Amino acid sequence: MGSYSASAQHLVDAMKAAALANPARGLAFQGAPGANSDLAAREYDPNSLPLPCYSFDDAIDAVRDGRVDRAIIPIENSLHGRVADIHFLLPESGLHIVGEHFLPIRYGLMSRDLGPVTRAMSHEQALGQCRQWLRANNISPVAHSDTAGAAAWVADSDEVGLAALAPPHAAELYGLTLHGTGMEDADYNMTRFVVLAREPLSDVSAIAAPMTTFVFEVKNVPAALYKALGGFATNGVNMTKLESYQVGGSFAATKFYADIVGAPGDERIDNALDELQFQTKSLRLLGSYAQARPRP
Range 51-57 average pLDDT: 94
- Give the Cα separation of 153 and 23 in Å (integer): 29
Q: Where are the domains of the chain?
A: 6-104+190-197, 108-181, 208-289
193 is catalytic: yes
- Alpha-carbon span 47 to 63, nearest angstrom: 18
Q: What is the largest CA-CA distance in the chain?
A: 64
Predicted TM-score of the model (pTM): 0.92
Select which of 29, 56, 147, 193 is catalytic.
Answer: 193
Q: What percent of the chain has pLDDT over 90?
A: 79
Selected catalytic residue, list 147, 191, 212, 280: 191
CA distance 27 to 193: 13
The whole-number pLDDT of residue 249 equals: 64
Residue in 263, 288, 90 with CA at minimum distance from that of residue 201 = 288
Return the CATH number of 6-104+190-197, one of 3.30.1360.170, 3.90.550.10, 3.40.190.10, 3.30.460.10.
3.40.190.10
For residue 130, name the pLDDT band (cuts at 50, 70, 90): very high
Confidence of residue 13 (pLDDT cuts 50, 70, 90): very high
pLDDT greater at residue 122 or residue 88: 122
- pLDDT tens string 173-182: 999 999 999 9
CA dist., res. 280 & res. 224, Å (int): 8
The mean per-residue pLDDT over the stretch 54-59 comes to 93
Residues 6+ apart with CB under 8 A from 137: none
**Residue 35 to residue 9: CA distance in whole angstroms:** 14
Q: Say if residue 18's pLDDT is above 90.
A: yes
List pLDDT tens digits, range 222-276. Answer: 888 999 999 999 999 999 999 988 766 666 667 899 999 999 999 999 999 999 9
Give the confidence band of 186 by pLDDT, cuts at 50, 70, 90.
Answer: confident
Q: How many CB atoms sit inside 10 A of residue 241's CB?
A: 16
Instruction: Spell out a b/e string for 194-218, using b for 16 or more CB atoms within 10 Å of the CB, else e.
Output: bbbbeeebeebeeeeebbbbbbbbb
How much is the pLDDT for 253? 63
Question: pLDDT tens, 61-97?
Answer: 999 999 999 999 999 988 777 776 777 788 889 999 9
Asked whether the beta carbons of 201 and 289 are under 8 A apart, the reply is yes
Provide the 3-class DSSP secondary structure of residue 15.
Answer: helix
pLDDT tens, position by position, 200-229: 998 898 898 899 999 999 888 888 899 999
Where b means 16+ CB within 10 Å and e means fewer, 182-192 reads ebbbeeebbbb
Asked if 102 and 192 count as a contact pair (C-beta separation under 8 A), the reply is yes
Please say if the pLDDT value at position 1 is more than 60.
no
The CA-to-CA distance between both ends of the chain, in Å, stands at: 41
Give the mean pLDDT of 18-46.
Answer: 97
Query: Given 3.30.70.260, 3.40.605.10, 3.40.50.300, 1.10.150.120, which CATH number is that of 208-289?
Result: 3.30.70.260
CA atoms within 13 A on the CB side of 255: 17
> Which fold is adopted by the domain 108-181?
D-Maltodextrin-Binding Protein; domain 2 (3.40.190)
Q: Quote the CA–CA distance of 63 and 20 in Å, as a whole number.
A: 11
Q: Which pLDDT belongs to residue 184?
A: 93
Mean local confidence (pLDDT), 273-282: 94
Decide if 218 contacts 242 (C-beta within 8 A): no
- CA triplet 190, 134, 144: central angle to 5 degrees? 70
Q: Fold identical between 6-104+190-197 and 108-181?
A: yes
What pLDDT score does 24 carry? 98
pLDDT at residue 125, rounded to an integer: 87
